[in-house]
A = this chain, B = another copy of it.
Amino acid sequence: MVKTIFVINPNSTQAVTDAFDEALNALRLPGGPKIECLTLAEGPPGIQSQMDVEQVTLPLVNLVKGLDAKHGAGAGAYVLACFSDPGLHAVREATTKPVLGISECGALTALTRGHRVGVIAILRQSIPRHGRMFGAMGLTERVVAEVPLGMNVVDLVDAERTRAGLLRAGKALRDEHLIDVVVLGCAGMAAHRAWLEEQLGVPVVEPTQAATAMAIGRTLLGW
Q: Which residues of A contact B (CB under 8 A)?
A: 26-27, 29-32, 49-51, 53-55, 57-58, 61, 87, 89-90, 92-94, 98, 100, 104-105, 108-109, 111-112, 114-116, 124, 127-129, 131-133, 135-142, 146, 178, 180, 193-194, 197, 203, 209-210, 212-214, 216-218, 220-223
Are A212 and B217 in touch, CB under 8 angstroms?
Answer: yes
Q: Could you pull out 21 A-B pairs where Cβ atoms are within 8 angstroms?
A: A27-B217, A27-B220, A31-B31, A49-B93, A51-B94, A54-B54, A54-B57, A98-B112, A108-B111, A115-B128, A115-B131, A116-B127, A127-B178, A135-B137, A135-B138, A140-B141, A203-B223, A212-B217, A213-B216, A213-B220, A213-B221
Query: In the complex this chain forms, how many copies of it are found?
Result: 6
- Provide the residues of chain B in CB contact with A214, threshold 8 Å: 109, 112, 213-214, 217
- Provide the residues of chain B in CB contact with A53, threshold 8 Å: 90
- Provide the residues of chain B in CB contact with A128, threshold 8 Å: 114-116, 180
A137 to B111 alpha-carbon distance, docked (Å): 8
- Provide the residues of chain B in CB contact with A116, threshold 8 Å: 127-128, 131
A-B complex: 4 closest residue pairs judged by Cβ atoms: A213-B217, A30-B31, A115-B128, A138-B141
A178 to B217 alpha-carbon distance, docked (Å): 27
- Provide the residues of chain B in CB contact with A94, threshold 8 Å: 51
A162–chain B nearest beta-carbon distance, Å: 20
- Provide the residues of chain B in CB contact with A127, threshold 8 Å: 115-116, 178, 180
**Which listed residue (B92, B132, B180) contacts A136, Cβ 8 A?**
B132
Closest to A148 in B: B178
Are A54 and B61 in touch, CB under 8 angstroms?
Answer: yes
Are A139 and B136 in touch, CB under 8 angstroms?
Answer: no
Q: A51-B90, A93-B51, A115-B132 are known contacts. Are A197 and B213 too (CB-CB below 8 A)? A: no
